[in-house]
Amino acid sequence: MKKVITYGTFDLLHWGHINLLKRAKDLGDYLIVAISSDQFNAIKEKEAYHSFENRKMILEAIRYVDEVIAEDNWEQKVEDVQKHGIDVFVMGDDWDGKFDFLTEYCDVVYLPRTEGISTTKIKTELFEANQ
């Protein structure tokens, strides 16, 4: 069984996230998603609308996702890859090159980001629409 992992906040889930998750799953047989905890989001200077628990519940409902774990820090990726027997690490290419150190442990794939959608865009447009 080929195992794939990806990391992210996945707040206000949208079709760009789904595109990423679908392509990630297509690279193997089992997809683990490590969702940033609320505490780690603070470190990333991101404030998610949905709590970790609710973002986890939403991701677990997606057909492409087989398991959801917590992402609590920047340093856990090597341990996660080894502990879960990961074959492929996947991220959107806004992270291109940032996780190449993992090539020692698994394949590293950066997939093109989906243009035209982002959580920030959703927040901004909803805010402006309600002025």
Q: What are phi and psi of 107, to 5 degrees?
A: -70, 145
Q: Tell me how far, at minimum, the Cβ of 130 lies from ligand C2G, in Å.
A: 23
User: CB-hemisphere CA count at 13 Å for 6?
Assistant: 29
Taking CB under 6 A as the rule, does residue 89 contact ligand C2G?
Answer: no
**Does residue 77 have an active-site annotation?**
no
Report the first-to-last Cα separation within the chain, whole angstroms. 51
Taking CB under 6 A as the rule, does residue 94 contact ligand C2G?
Answer: yes
Q: Can you read off the two tokens belonging to residue 33?
A: 């998603």
Q: Can you read off the two tokens belonging to residue 78?
A: 């090597």
Q: Out of 2, 3, 22, 46, pick the active-site residue.
A: 46
Taking CB under 6 A as the rule, does residue 28 contact ligand C2G?
Answer: no
**Does residue 46 have an active-site annotation?**
yes
- CA 22, chain centre distance (Å): 12
What residues make contact with ligand C2G under the rule CB under 6 A?
Answer: 7-10, 16-17, 20, 36, 44, 46, 71, 91-92, 94, 113-114, 117-118
The residues annotated with a catalytic role in the active site are 44, 46
